[in-house]
Structures are given as C-alpha cells and as structure tokens.
Amino acid sequence: MAYELKDLNQSARLSLSFFLLAIVIGTVSALIMLGLLLTHQESGFAVPSVENIKIKYHYPQLVSAMKTSMNQYVADEADIEAVSKWISAGKTEAEYKKTIAPIMSTACVSCHNPTSTMSGAMPGLPLTTYKEVVKYTVAGYSWVKMAKQAHVHLFGIGTFLVLVTFIFAFTSFRPWFRSLAITVTWIALILDVLCWWLTKYELSFAYVIVGAGATMSGGAIGMCVLSILDLWITVPLLSQPKPSAPETAGIDR
C-alpha cells in the first residue's frame, strides 16, 4: 500500500506545513542576503549579475575588493586596471614599486597598515609592502577558503534539501514529475558548488553558477509550496489520477 501526505493526521500535516513554510522563508531570506552581499547594496531584493559572480569567484581578491567593497576609496578606474594588468603580467616586484605601490599608498595604506588609527582601519590586513600585497593576487578564493565555503554550503543545504525532497516524494503528484523535480534540484546544487571551483580557472562557468543557483533555489521553494498544497488540497493538473473502483460483476441466479 502506497502512503501519501494526505494520509497523515491533521497534527502531522500542520507540523510539516509549518516546517516547509519556514524553509521557504529561510531560502528567500538567504537569496536576499546573497544578492545584497554580491551587489553591495544595502536594501531590497538585488539580483546579482554574472559580472558579480566573476568578481567573487575568479578575480584576484585585491581586484575584487577594489571593484566592490573598497571601490569608493579607489581614486580612478584606471588604477584597478593597472593592478589587474600587473597581476596578469606576472606581478613582479619591480613593476610593483614603479606602478602599484603609489596606488596602494593613495587608495589603501591609510587603513591597511599595522599602525592605522583610521575609522574602520584593518591593521590585520596590511598592504604596505610587496610581500603583503602579493598575498591577495591569486585568482578567486584560496583553496582553504573555497573548501570551507563549499563543505558548509553542501552540508547545510543538503540537510534541509533531503528533508524537503523526501517529503515531496510522498506527495500525490505524478511519479515522473516528482522524480524530475527532485533530480534537477539536487543536480543544480552539486553543479552550483562544483562551478565555484571551476570559475576560479575559467570564467564561462560563472554562467552555470547563476543558472544552477536559480534552479536549486527555485526547485526547493517550488517543492515546499507544492507539498504544502498537497497536504491540504488536490492540484488537478499535477496530481496522479486515482484508480477507479472496480465494478462489481452481476451474479446470475
């Protein structure tokens, strides 16, 4: 006998409904936070662009900061381009002293030095010498930071996603639809994180991050909403038709 969500008692259905609603609100909140962090806006629902993704996962940390959070302190866009070209050309110390050190002195050193007393100073992240600056010129996140972010992301989202997909598996929707939604959402999660690493070396994977992230979020929210509906009502277009009761054959006497 196949069991469905509708077979649960009212208390159990209420419990699952509120759990799924909490997941929807949490996922939307996470999307708002991610959008604001990537676009560096302060409020609203900001949609990150592919360029925002490239900056986060491909550009060197120094260039990324100069384009985003520290952009207001950079004197000229040409300075960012000069730093980017210096890194691409091999980040030699001679070129650093000639071109990059003056930029750092003008735009960064007032806050990024061990003795800074500026408001918002970052003495723990100094940019006063060649050796200090060159630490932040590797493309994308460091391997340690990337591994930390990836495993936390997979463990965290994977934990709630397995619960959401397991609940969705017991809805009354057509089997092919349930299997498709579950498979696509899990593949999107794995592709999203995998392409964080790949974008570090190839910019085109940034487009996959955008698509996979949207698919995973949309899939999770969609399954939550549909599961809540299925707990209380029937959705005719997606629900599996109930088998008709067998007719009782007449008996001749």
Answer yes or no: do 47 and 68 share one domain. Answer: no
Apex CA 64: angle with CA 63 and CA 66, to 5°?
A: 65
Q: How confident is the model at residue 15 (pLDDT cuts 50, 70, 90)?
A: very high
Rounded to an integer, what is the distance from CA 252 to the centroid of its chain? Answer: 69
- 15 found inside a domain: yes
Considering its fold, how many domains does the chain have in total?
A: 2
d(CA 232, CA 52): 41
- 246 found inside a domain: no
- Checking if the pLDDT of 1 tops 50, the result is no
Query: 105, 134, 163: which is the final residue of a domain?
Result: 134
Answer yes or no: do 105 and 209 share one domain. Answer: no
Q: Which range has highest mean pLDDT (70-74, 109-113, 117-121, 228-232)?
A: 228-232
- Checking if the pLDDT of 236 tops 90, the result is no
Q: Which of these, 81, 73, 131, lies nearest to 105 by C-alpha position?
A: 73
- State the pLDDT at residue 227: 96
Query: 80, 109, 134: which is the final residue of a domain?
Result: 134
* Domain residue limits at 72: 61-134
- 207 found inside a domain: yes
Query: 134, 149, 177: which is the final residue of a domain?
Result: 134
- Checking if the pLDDT of 110 tops 60, the result is yes
Answer yes or no: do 43 and 71 share one domain. Answer: no
- Checking if the pLDDT of 214 tops 90, the result is yes
Answer yes or no: do 20 and 35 share one domain. Answer: yes
